[in-house]
Amino acid sequence: MPTLRVELMEGRTPEQKKELVKALTQAVVDTLGSKPESVDILLFDIKRHDWATGGVLWSEQS
């Protein structure tokens, strides 16, 4: 049972997430030959003040 963990900066809509999990599930099915019902996807929304790139929090970037 493949399990994918996806960390996203908060702000994606439920529809965007729905499309993402659909596409990721299909990619696993096509690549690994898994059945769709065996693919688990965990989505984690990360707040901008909990994510940094290049030593700068995203909440502080313009």
- For tokens 């965990």, the residue is 42
- What pLDDT score was predicted for residue 34? 97
- What pLDDT score was predicted for residue 28? 98
pLDDT at 62 exceeding the cut of 80: no
Q: Minimal CA–CA distance to 58: which of 11, 50, 43?
A: 50
- What pLDDT score was predicted for residue 52? 96
Q: Which of 1, 2, 40, 45 is catalytic?
A: 2
Q: How confident is the model at residue 50 (pLDDT cuts 50, 70, 90)?
A: very high
**Dihedral Cα 57, 60, 61, 62, nearest 10 deg:** 170
Mean pLDDT, range 27-56, rounded to an integer: 97
Residue 14: active-site member: no
